[in-house]
């Protein structure tokens, strides 16, 4: 027997409709790419997005067509988003930090028909225009004055398109499972793979993140999404701000400490979200300039592990609450958030910090489990670590065009590629990437945990741990150390430093001093390159075994 | 093109699964019907609900079968709920305040197969057992000791069923549109009509109410749902508390000021929800006993309009924030909540109060409009009032068994039967019931507004306004007044009292002093009875017209 409630498909156009009807005057403020601060409202964004929808139809865009954006966080980017999605086309957010080759690969793989671009990225598109055969039009997100310097034959002007289109346009009316967005994972191995969000997944992600124990946004909040819209929908903020009528403050391309601080103060920002490096820059700027944070109350940090110093700095010096969140492109992106439960809230501030530095617990809508290599569930005891797998209505089911084949386990869970623990409060902590974990005699050793301790040695500039082949144990850890400039050290210095801080059987079998530890594009240690460089390395313990 | 995210049906069993996995130790505390305080946890409730599911299957319950509950808010009631819904049966909550005739009508209309009942209601069921032919079993929610006094042949014991059943039971796995719950409207005209909730509608309602601007519950909250589970799912709290891991405190049958106060204090309640009368009783009790509210922070009030004195009392004397909410059985029930937006939050406390006394604004997921009799949209100017119509995924589409026929307008909106205004902040205020509004020369007059002012006259005990036939204006208002005991007054006293407080053309054409103003079961003025009594009344202005 089916229920008799209304059929109301969860399509994201309804989010902007809601903002227009109930929070129409609420501002969306942008630092424009051209320079000046630009002020608009949800009502105006709604009208302009509808005009854009008509312009897109005029350019031949059909439901299901991919329309890309290569753009910073601005009001125009929000307009393009809703304008694309409202008519059932797919908004494909391109990451401008990618190399031209990757960008072209992704554009071709997605078969993008139109690209919206900020002025900033016109040169890279112009240079590679011939390599994008599916792209029929490039729309530059500026006005006629801005178009003057644009050297890209056939480029269209965003403001022109808006100006000459009608605002009469029906949005939605299609299946809620219709594709709405496309975002490629950076993919440390193999080609980037596309995650194809649906209207339903975006809508449900929005509702879940609005929960008081997740982002908890209200109509009274002023939100500065530093995290870019091309990073899994700015963690959903381009939807959730409109959903509650929060004022949005869009930082454009200027993400340095001084620029972010200026917007935080002049616009009265109460909530912000970004990766740790942005907050590190902001803290440095504040300390240098003796700046204040007079309105900011809450900050969500994700993208990589939060350094304790940031949490303490914001808490103790500025009275700002920092919450750690974890997610990935494949989870829309929210997976967990380290919001205290009742038991943790009853602890001392210092005890609470231990939990705040973990990645946190899942909200309703995210199922999560730890398994061993065979897929058997592991206990939530805070020490056992296993593969982290997730399931839910905004978790990827398969990649675009079936890349990577079947990606769910028999219970329907997606393997995140992370290795983690879950403690008795339900707080998850990432301990390693699955491919970096060291498998020694059937047990797992976290390379990251050893690295994090080793890099604390005063003589270490950088430290990395990888697994090296061992005839008896399969793998044993090797510690690579790049020393501080002009400093000397012995292997024993590091082994002694680790003693007592990690389990005995975790102790590296060797320490290798290197001149360089390679970092990837996101600033993380590039283990793939290290493993390549170390491919001829043989453990002394393995040699001893061989010689024995 | 469809998105490629996971297929994860929104079924309510997942809510209790979530509570078990991530908040398993969190308590659910009940004042049992037998008397003592009983403590359990989400993990235990989950296990016992699964056992009940197996017991129900053993009794022959199939998906789609209606299983009723006639019960107070207790942990056992929660177990019955999830046990019924988890296997695709329909949990039909019966309102014990109904007369036996209505109860029997509803049970027969729903074709309930099993009834779960508290000890309290065994007598009414025993007396009317023969009038419920579809009911195969009655389960009394008590243990073997409690069964001793039960005089109901064939009655089953709840604890027996739980004890002898296995906890191995698959829940869910069906279409998210599957019926989950059934609740009949009290229906001021005609027979009660059933609203058939789906798993999807309940799940979405849960996510929406968790928003920071709606109920905003967190894992750190301790929630006392005074509002009964038979009133539209206790405003969803039986779902939303489990969804976030809030501690639940279930008051059983004792809803008087002293009993509620005791639980608030001993269990550390932070959030509660109830109708105004409960809060009035609590306030009276607190003032009488010089009681304190040491943990309570937020109270949501709905069911009928909130008196200003309650909001002020809680705010000024106890530091508790009162939020007004509006909804109905047909809206699951949340429709609006009077949570301040940024503009209102910037006002003085006194100015804010003006908005707090309105019914509030809709969250994302509730569409709302005002229309005239012809269905044309009316402006949101705070003064124009029209029919209030709503639309959304947790709004009724049709009544059970098609009662009342097609109930949606051409745009898919449901007519709430209320007449209201919406102001420029998007705050809705109920001004009248549509059938009570007075239609004078094509314009509408709110009977309630005039009543509310008239009853403020020191000589008035009660006041009611109805429309009486007028040959020129169709209808004109008549004010009925029941005077305070032993007091005398002239019509002119009341007309003068109204002067300047309402528009001139709203002035009643007549004042009639009566000995009695009839009240309905819920304490509201029963206009149907008044209209019946006044059916031969003729307006003096109408007579004058006739004689002219």
For every residue of A107-151, DSSP letters joined together read HHHHT-SEEEE-GGGHHHHHHHGGG-TT--EEEESS-HHHHTT--
Main-chain dihedrals φ then ψ at residue A372, nearest 5 degrees = -85, -175
Those residues whose C-beta lies under 8 Å from the C-beta of residue A500, and which sit 6 or more positions away, are: none
Residues B151/B133, Cβ–Cβ less than 8 Å: no
pLDDT class for B523, splitting at 50, 70, 90? low
**Residue B181 to residue B173: CA distance in whole angstroms:** 17
What was the pLDDT predicted at A377? 97
Tell me the pLDDT tens digit for each residue of B24-82: 999 999 999 999 999 999 999 999 999 999 999 999 999 999 999 999 999 999 999 99
pLDDT at A169 over 70: yes
Whether residue B210 lies within 8 A of chain A, CB to CB, comes out as yes
What was the pLDDT predicted at A189? 62
Residue found under tokens 């047990």: A443
B interface test, pick of A13, A21, A170, A211 with most B CB neighbours within 10 Å: A211
For B351, the token pair is 């100015």
Q: How far is CA A469 from the centre of its chain?
A: 33
What was the pLDDT predicted at A406? 95
Q: Compute the residue count for chain B.
A: 548
Strands A386-391 and A367-371: antiparallel
Task: Identify the DSSP state of A397.
Answer: S
What was the pLDDT predicted at B528? 87
Task: Identify the DSSP state of B377.
Answer: B
Q: Which one, of B250, B261, B76, B71, lies nearest residue B161 by Cα?
A: B76
**Residue B365 to residue A204: CA distance in whole angstroms:** 11
Which of A5, A213, A216 has its CB closest to that of B201? A5
For A166, the token pair is 């009608």
Residue B487 gets the label, from left (phi > 0), alpha (psi -120 to 50) or beta, of beta
Of chain B residues 29-58, which have a CB less than 8 A from chain A? none
A185 belongs to the catalytic site = yes
pLDDT class for A481, splitting at 50, 70, 90? very high
Tell me the pLDDT tens digit for each residue of A355-414: 999 999 999 999 999 999 999 999 999 999 999 999 999 999 999 999 999 999 999 999
**In chain B, count of helices (H) and strands (E)?**
20, 24
Those residues whose C-beta lies under 8 Å from the C-beta of residue A139, and which sit 6 or more positions away, are: A114, A115, A116, A117, A155, A156, A157, A158, A161
Chain A hits for B6, Cβ within 8 Å: 391-397, 408, 412, 414
**Residue B438 to residue B447: CA distance in whole angstroms:** 7
SS3 B237: helix
What was the pLDDT predicted at A209? 97
Tell me the pLDDT tens digit for each residue of B424-458: 999 999 998 888 999 998 888 989 889 988 988 99
DSSP string for B21-64: HHHTT-EEEEE-TTSSEEEEEHHHHHHHHHHHHHHHHHTT--TT
CB contact (8 A) between residue B178 and residue A63: no
For A297, the token pair is 């109350």
SS3 A459: coil
Chain B hits for A219, Cβ within 8 Å: 213, 339-342
pLDDT at B188 over 60: no
Mean pLDDT of chain A: 94
Rounded to 5°, the CA angle A240-A246-A251 comes to: 85
Alpha carbons within 13 angstroms on the beta-carbon side of residue A92 total 24
Residue B452 to residues A225, A364, B306, B455, Cα–Cα distance (Å): 47, 44, 13, 5
Give mean pLDDT, residues B153-171.
97
**Residue B18 to residue A325: CA distance in whole angstroms:** 19
pLDDT class for A307, splitting at 50, 70, 90? confident
Main-chain dihedrals φ then ψ at residue B395, nearest 5 degrees = -110, 140
**Residue A123 to residue A464: CA distance in whole angstroms:** 37
pLDDT class for B520, splitting at 50, 70, 90? confident
**Residue A384 to residue B148: CA distance in whole angstroms:** 50
- Sheet containing strand A156-157, edge to edge, reads A156-157, A137-140, A114-117, A66-70, A90-93, A179-184, A194-198
Q: To the nearest whole angstrom, how far is the Cα of A387 from the nearest Cα of chain B?
A: 18
pLDDT class for A545, splitting at 50, 70, 90? low
Which of A243, A244, A392 has its CB closest to that of B6? A392
Residues B487/B459, Cβ–Cβ less than 8 Å: yes
**Residue A103 to residue A192: CA distance in whole angstroms:** 10
**Residue A411 to residue A268: CA distance in whole angstroms:** 46
CB contact (8 A) between residue B178 and residue A2: yes
Q: Which one, of B396, B343, B386, B403, lies nearest residue B366 by Cα?
A: B396
What was the pLDDT predicted at A467? 94
Q: Is B294 exposed, middle or buried (0-12, 13-18, 19+ CB in 10 A)?
A: exposed
Residue B450 to residues B98, B276, B515, B537, Cα–Cα distance (Å): 30, 21, 19, 20
Q: To the nearest whole angstrom, how far is the Cα of A173 from the nearest Cα of chain B?
A: 13
Helices (H), B338-446: 342-345, 349-356
Write the ipTM: 0.93
* DSSP-assigned beta bridge partners for residue A68: A92, A115
Whether residue B404 lies within 8 A of chain A, CB to CB, comes out as no
Share of chain B above pLDDT 70, in %: 98
Tell me the pLDDT tens digit for each residue of B451-472: 988 988 999 988 999 999 999 9
Which residue of chain A has the CA closest to B8? A393
Residue found under tokens 């129900």: B56
Q: Which one, of B283, B254, B265, B259, lies nearest residue B222 by Cα?
A: B265
pLDDT class for A519, splitting at 50, 70, 90? confident
Main-chain dihedrals φ then ψ at residue A210, nearest 5 degrees = -75, -15
Distance from the first to the final alpha carbon of chain A: 73
- Dihedral over alpha carbons B2, B6, B12, B16 (to 10 degrees): -160
Q: Which helix (H) or strand (E) holds A495?
A: helix A491-498
Whether residue A548 lies within 8 A of chain B, CB to CB, comes out as no
- C-beta atoms surrounding A170 within 10 Å: 10
A330 belongs to the catalytic site = yes
What was the pLDDT predicted at A541? 86
Catalytic residue among A185, A206, A209, A222: A185
Q: To the nearest whole angstrom, how far is the Cα of A146 from the nearest Cα of chain B?
A: 34
**Residue B266 to residue A457: CA distance in whole angstroms:** 51
Catalytic residue among A235, A279, A444, A506: A444
**Residue B433 to residue B419: CA distance in whole angstroms:** 6
Whether residue A244 lies within 8 A of chain B, CB to CB, comes out as yes
Residues A218/A199, Cβ–Cβ less than 8 Å: no
What was the pLDDT predicted at A523? 67
For B273, the token pair is 């929800």
Residues A451/A467, Cβ–Cβ less than 8 Å: no
Give mean pLDDT, residues A101-111.
96
CB contact (8 A) between residue A207 and residue B211: yes
Q: To the nearest whole angstrom, how far is the Cα of A19 from the nearest Cα of chain B?
A: 8
Helices (H), A59-115: 75-86, 100-110
**Residue A422 to residue A305: CA distance in whole angstroms:** 16
Task: Identify the DSSP state of A57.
Answer: H
**Residue B128 to residue A326: CA distance in whole angstroms:** 57
For A42, the token pair is 């949800």
Of chain A residues 102-161, which have a CB less than 8 A from chain B? none
Q: What is the 3-state secondary structure (H, E, C) of B333-368?
A: CEEEECCCCHHHHCCCHHHHHHHHCCCEECCCCCEE
Q: Which one, of B6, B235, B339, lies nearest residue A220 by Cα?
A: B339
Residues B235/B227, Cβ–Cβ less than 8 Å: yes
SS3 A49: helix
What was the pLDDT predicted at B187? 60
Q: To the nearest whole angstrom, how far is the Cα of A243 from the nearest Cα of chain B?
A: 6
Which residue of chain A has the CA closest to B407? A6
For B108, the token pair is 């027969």
Chain B hits for A425, Cβ within 8 Å: none
Tell me the pLDDT tens digit for each residue of B210-230: 999 999 999 999 999 999 999
Whether residue A204 lies within 8 A of chain B, CB to CB, comes out as yes
What was the pLDDT predicted at B545? 60
Size of interface A-B (CB pairs under 8 A): 218
Whether residue B247 lies within 8 A of chain A, CB to CB, comes out as yes
């Amino acid at each position: 027997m089916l229920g008799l409630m209304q059929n109301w498909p969860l399509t994201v156009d309804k989010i902007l409709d809601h903002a227009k009807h109930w929070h129409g005057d609420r501002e969306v403020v942008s630092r424009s790419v051209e320079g000046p601060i630009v002020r608009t409202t949800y009502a105006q964004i709604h009208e302009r997005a509808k005009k854009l929808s008509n312009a897109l139809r005029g350019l031949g865009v059909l439901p299901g067509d991919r329309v890309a954006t290569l753009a910073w966080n601005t009001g125009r980017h929000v307009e393009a988003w809703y304008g694309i999605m409202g008519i059932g086309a797919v908004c494909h957010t391109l990451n401008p930090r990618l190399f031209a080759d990757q960008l072209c690969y992704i554009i071709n793989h997605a078969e993008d028909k139109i690209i919206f671009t900020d002025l900033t990225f016109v040169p890279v598109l112009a240079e590679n225009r011939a390599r994008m055969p599916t792209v029929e039009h490039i729309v530059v997100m500026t006005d006629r004055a801005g178009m003057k310097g644009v050297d890209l034959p056939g480029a269209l002007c965003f403001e022109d398109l808006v100006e000459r289109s009608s605002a009469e346009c029906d949005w939605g009316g299609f299946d809620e499972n219709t594709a709405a967005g496309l975002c490629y994972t950076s993919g440390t191995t193999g080609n980037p793979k596309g995650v194809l969000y649906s209207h339903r997944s975006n809508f449900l992600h929005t509702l879940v993140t609005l929960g008081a124990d997740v982002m908890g946004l209200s109509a009274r909040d002023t939100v500065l999404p530093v995290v870019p819209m091309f990073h899994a929908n700015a963690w959903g903020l381009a939807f959730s701000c409109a959903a509650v009528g929060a004022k949005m403050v869009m930082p454009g391309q200027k993400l340095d400490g001084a620029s972010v601080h200026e917007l935080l103060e002049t616009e009265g920002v109460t909530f912000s979200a970004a990766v740790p490096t942005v907050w590190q820059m902001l803290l440095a700027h504040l300390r240098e300039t003796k700046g204040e944070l007079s309105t900011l109350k809450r900050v969500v940090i994700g993208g990589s592990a939060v350094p304790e110093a940031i949490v303490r700095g914001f808490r103790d010096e500025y009275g700002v609450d920092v919450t750690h969140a974890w997610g990935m492109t494949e989870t829309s992106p929210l997976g967990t958030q380290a919001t205290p439960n009742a038991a943790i809230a009853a602890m001392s501030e210092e005890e609470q910090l231990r939990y705040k530095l973990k990645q946190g617990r899942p909200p309703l809508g995210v199922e999560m489990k730890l398994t061993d290599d065979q897929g058997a569930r592991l206990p939530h005891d805070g020490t056992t670590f296993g593969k982290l797998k997730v399931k839910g209505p905004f978790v990827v089911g398969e990649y675009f065009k079936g890349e990577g084949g079947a990606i769910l386990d028999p219970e329907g869970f997606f393997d995140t590629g992370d290795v983690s623990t879950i403690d008795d409060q339900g707080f998850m902590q990432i301990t390693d990437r699955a491919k970096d974990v060291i498998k020694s005699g059937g047990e797992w050793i976290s390379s990251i945990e050893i690295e994090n301790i080793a890099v604390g040695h005063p003589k270490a500039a950088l430290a990395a741990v990888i697994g090296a082949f061992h005839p008896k144990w399969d793998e044993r850890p090797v510690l690579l150390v790049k020393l501080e400039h002009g400093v000397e050290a012995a292997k024993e210095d590091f082994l002694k430093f680790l003693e007592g801080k990690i389990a005995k059987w975790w102790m590296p079998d060797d320490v290798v001093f290197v001149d360089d530890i390679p970092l990837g594009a996101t600033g993380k240690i590039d283990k793939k390159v290290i493993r390549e460089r170390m491919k001829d390395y043989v453990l002394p313990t393995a040699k001893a075994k061989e010689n024995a």
